[in-house]
Chain A
Amino acid sequence: MNILEVKDLQKTFATQIAVDKISFQLEKGSIFGLLGPNGAGKTTLIRMITGIFYPDAGEILFEGKPFDPMNDILRIGYMPEERGLYKKMKIGEQALYLAQLKGLSRSEALQRAKEWFVKFEMQSWWNKKVEDLSKGMGQKLQFVTTVMHEPRLIILDEPFSGLDPVNSNLIKDEIYSLARKGATIVFSTHRMEQVEEICDHIILVNRGQKILDGTVGGVKQQFKENLFRIGLERPLTGEDLKTADASDAFTVVGRADGQLVVKIAEGHRPNDVLSWFIRKGEGITSFVEILPSLNDIFIRLVEGTPLARQFQRL
């Protein structure tokens, strides 16, 4: 079942189209990567899903029903990239306040805040002020305030920035556990290795349009270049390579650490490569397909377009 369905969503600011007919679906319990260069329209898209902006055209279905900002935003948790807290307010009070704004009663909020503070070992912070916290500590608090009201849809924009590896893992584990419990997570970041590690499904947005949609594995398959890394018992010399070039099944595109990187020509299969080496009598120690990293795919798709659009030029 889809928790969120977005159809032909469109938002235009005075002089430019920020979001241009974007459609996608979010499966319940999945972790979804929303990728795109700066100024691609991600924030505008998120702001429409969180009820901050009204779309000019298109449709948002939340849990199968048309999106009702007044009530549905209570079931969404949003941690914006540019986030902040009231500096002069005590941390406990702040958590209670933000949870109450999401519709929890004061007693519910108090109970859940205490649970989360214990889980994240933040109990001693309760009466401190935000201005006394380090950036990473503030980040943890921000995460807690985002998920405290048990939202069904959690939108996290660069949730790991400013966190040390220990705290990053803490948050990451929490994200997995929330997803297991049935929450859907939208994860927006520029850190592609995190996307590969965490996300099930991604879409890539550029210049207001969706240019890629699929599972992480599927996207990699879609963009693979038939590259394979072959480990050989005996490093091949330039002389050998000349003969290797002679094969029409593949071309050698690189050599590293005594291994060869080959590109299999159109119409041939990996077996053709292997059988060529076997015929040559070379001992093969490994044979691995090289899939492109999301980083490579991202750069390939986005390169050549102006990376940073000025947001909302009026």
Chain B
Amino acid sequence: MSNNKIWLITRREYLTRVRNRTFLLSTFLFPLVIILFIAGSVMIATQTHTHHKIAVVDANGYFKDYLRSDSSLSFDFSPGIDTLNYADRGNTAVLIIPPLPEDNVTIYRLKFKKQLGPAAKDDLENRVNNAITDHLIYEKTSVSRIQLDTLRSRSKIAALRTFDDNDKKARASNQNAAGAIGYVCAILIYMLTFIYGAMVMRGVMEEKTNRIAEVVVSSVKPFQLMMGKITGIGAVGLTQFLLWIVLLVGLSFLAQAFIPPSVGKEIMQLQQANAMGNAGNAIKVSEGANRIYEFQSAMSAANLGLTIFCFLFYFIGGYLFYSALFAAIGSAVNEDPQEAQSLMMPVTLPIVFSFFVATVALQDPTGPLAVWASIIPFSSPIVMTGRIPFGVPGTVPWWQLGLSMVSLVAGFLVTVWLAGKIYRTGILMYGKKPTWKTMWKWAFHK
């Protein structure tokens, strides 16, 4: 009987939302927004190189031959340039290199009126050190300048391919692609937790301000009403996710149809070459074919089945964990949305924090921060989904995955229980401005 009621409530919550026109609209707009967001951030990251022109005052006299100008940095060795007039001559900064002894570290200086930024500064430092190395090789060995240049360009022919060594057969892995998939998963969980959590909160607030809550709780238990709402909206989320997968599969089939046959042939060649284990002998193929091949191998290396399963698990677990807390807040506030804002802080903060942890964890997916943050239920939904594409059981051992899943289930049981107690009192309480202190009392009173 009681399950039947939760089912009735779930059904209503689900149908009223899925039948709504905004559901279809948001289902198709959301992936677009995500794609634009990622493309935008990649664009900003790659396109915002500023060109710096740097004056060089060199006491050694040889840097002119080794520091090459290019699109990001150019060097001005014109005579007579100094720390007083470099800016007038159109330079961003002036580099002052004193006579360098061979065997101890000497300080050289960069003076500027405008910051170069850390990336350009590192770049400059590397170039100066390379220049010194090149100079030493040239001076101390019998290598000629031409030989040196040839060697430098030759040394770029080795390409690193990484392999996951956990199965019987080592599988090709792609750290960058795994990182990208992990990042997308983490962003998705992060955004979905917020979107659906807020939806639950608004739904509860609507029931409270509409005063329908009292009518309904004379038929069902407050806990059933809360659970029905949470499961109903969760089902909306799963439906949306399912539609996205359908959309993605459809689009990728569509994209495959647009791959020209010649490129398709090249991809086949790459696949065969890799299967025979001679990936080292790079086959000459077009850039496009190589990209698509890398994408395909990354997708297969990421163990798509497990990734999707874990994504769903952590989506549901994280959603239950946080939406219960959002429901508790919704039940406590009155008409004033401002009240909700101030109460939401302690709930939104861990979500935002986990996302930051996830970005750090993706750089070092086996580090202690990544491991612990993916086990603690506050942050595990976002951090663990970010780590999983790096490989299970390699990067993420089974015990970590198991422990993380169990603690997430335990975590949401606790938050749902706690939220149920707050909700029971809050949903019928009007007029009083709620605080976390009163909500705490509702949760633990009697």
12 contacts between A and B (CB under 8 A): A14-B441, A52-B217, A73-B218, A78-B215, A78-B218, A80-B214, A82-B430, A83-B214, A86-B210, A97-B8, A101-B8, A103-B1
Which residues of A pack against B, CB within 8 Å?
14, 47, 50-52, 70-71, 73-74, 76, 78-80, 82-89, 97-98, 100-103, 142, 145, 311-312, 314
With a cutoff of 8 Å between Cβ atoms, the chain A residues found around residue B12 in the complex are 89, 97
| B219 contacts the other chain (CB 8 A) | yes
* Residues B1-47 near A (CB distance < 8 A): 1-2, 5, 8-9, 12, 16
Among A70, A78, A87, A103, contact of B210 (Cβ-Cβ < 8 Å): A87
Q: Are A101's CB and B5's CB within 8 A?
A: yes
| B100 contacts the other chain (CB 8 A) | no
* Residues B279-309 near A (CB distance < 8 A): none
Q: Are A70's CB and B212's CB within 8 A?
A: no
Q: Which residue of A lies closest to B445 (CB)?
A: A14
Q: Are B218's CB and A83's CB within 8 A?
A: no
With a cutoff of 8 Å between Cβ atoms, the chain B residues found around residue A14 in the complex are 441, 445
Q: Which DSSP category, helix, strand, loop or mixed, fits chain B's interface? A: helix
Q: Which residue of A lies closest to B15 (CB)?
A: A93
Whole-angstrom distance between the Cβ of B395 and the nearest chain A Cβ:
46
Taken together as a complex, chains A and B put the C-alpha atoms of A15 and B79 apart, in Å, by 87
Taken together as a complex, chains A and B put the C-alpha atoms of A314 and B442 apart, in Å, by 10
With a cutoff of 8 Å between Cβ atoms, the chain B residues found around residue A100 in the complex are 8
Whole-angstrom distance between the Cβ of B72 and the nearest chain A Cβ:
56
A87, A100, A102, most chain B CB atoms within 10 A: A100
| B113 contacts the other chain (CB 8 A) | no
Q: Which residue of B lies closest to A90 (CB)?
A: B16
Given A101-B5, A314-B432, A86 contacting B212 (CB threshold 8 A): yes
How many A-B residue pairs lie within 8 Å, measured between CB atoms? 67
Taken together as a complex, chains A and B put the C-alpha atoms of A142 and B214 apart, in Å, by 12
| B192 contacts the other chain (CB 8 A) | no
| B247 contacts the other chain (CB 8 A) | no
For the complex of A and B, the 10 pairs showing the least CB-CB separation, nearest first, are A84-B211, A84-B210, A84-B212, A101-B219, A78-B218, A82-B211, A80-B214, A50-B218, A102-B219, A52-B217
Taken together as a complex, chains A and B put the C-alpha atoms of A142 and B428 apart, in Å, by 19
Taken together as a complex, chains A and B put the C-alpha atoms of A312 and B438 apart, in Å, by 12
Q: Are A84's CB and B16's CB within 8 A?
A: no
Q: Which residue of A lies closest to B208 (CB)?
A: A84
| B148 contacts the other chain (CB 8 A) | no
Q: Which residue of A lies closest to B225 (CB)?
A: A101
Whole-angstrom distance between the Cβ of B8 and the nearest chain A Cβ:
5
| B235 contacts the other chain (CB 8 A) | no
Given A70-B1, A101-B8, A312-B429, A85 contacting B212 (CB threshold 8 A): yes
Q: Are A83's CB and B441's CB within 8 A?
A: no
Among A74, A101, A102, A314, contact of B438 (Cβ-Cβ < 8 Å): A314
| B369 contacts the other chain (CB 8 A) | no
Q: Are B8's CB and A80's CB within 8 A?
A: no
With a cutoff of 8 Å between Cβ atoms, the chain A residues found around residue B1 in the complex are 70-71, 103
Whole-angstrom distance between the Cβ of A313 and the nearest chain B Cβ:
9
With a cutoff of 8 Å between Cβ atoms, the chain A residues found around residue B214 in the complex are 52, 80, 82-83
With a cutoff of 8 Å between Cβ atoms, the chain A residues found around residue B215 in the complex are 78-80, 83-85, 98, 142, 145
With a cutoff of 8 Å between Cβ atoms, the chain A residues found around residue B428 in the complex are 47, 52
| B259 contacts the other chain (CB 8 A) | no
Among B211, B213, B220, B445, contact of A101 (Cβ-Cβ < 8 Å): B220
Given A70-B2, A83-B211, A51 contacting B218 (CB threshold 8 A): yes
Whole-angstrom distance between the Cβ of B6 and the nearest chain A Cβ:
11
With a cutoff of 8 Å between Cβ atoms, the chain B residues found around residue A80 in the complex are 211, 214-215, 218
* Residues B199-223 near A (CB distance < 8 A): 206, 210-220
Whole-angstrom distance between the Cβ of B227 and the nearest chain A Cβ:
14
Given A83-B211, A83-B214, A101-B5, A89 contacting B445 (CB threshold 8 A): no
With a cutoff of 8 Å between Cβ atoms, the chain A residues found around residue B8 in the complex are 97, 100-101
Q: Are A73's CB and B219's CB within 8 A?
A: yes
Q: Which residue of B lies closest to A146 (CB)?
A: B215
B1, B214, B220, B441, most chain A CB atoms within 10 A: B214
With a cutoff of 8 Å between Cβ atoms, the chain B residues found around residue A311 in the complex are 431
Given A70-B1, A80-B211, A83-B214, A89 contacting B16 (CB threshold 8 A): yes
With a cutoff of 8 Å between Cβ atoms, the chain A residues found around residue B5 in the complex are 101
Whole-angstrom distance between the Cβ of A88 and the nearest chain B Cβ:
7
With a cutoff of 8 Å between Cβ atoms, the chain B residues found around residue A71 in the complex are 1
With a cutoff of 8 Å between Cβ atoms, the chain A residues found around residue B216 in the complex are 98, 101
A52-B428, A73-B219 given; 16 more Cβ-contact pairs under 8 Å = A14-B441, A14-B445, A47-B428, A78-B218, A83-B215, A84-B210, A84-B215, A85-B215, A86-B16, A86-B206, A97-B8, A101-B219, A101-B220, A145-B215, A312-B429, A314-B438
Q: Which residue of B lies closest to A142 (CB)?
A: B215
Taken together as a complex, chains A and B put the C-alpha atoms of A101 and B8 apart, in Å, by 7
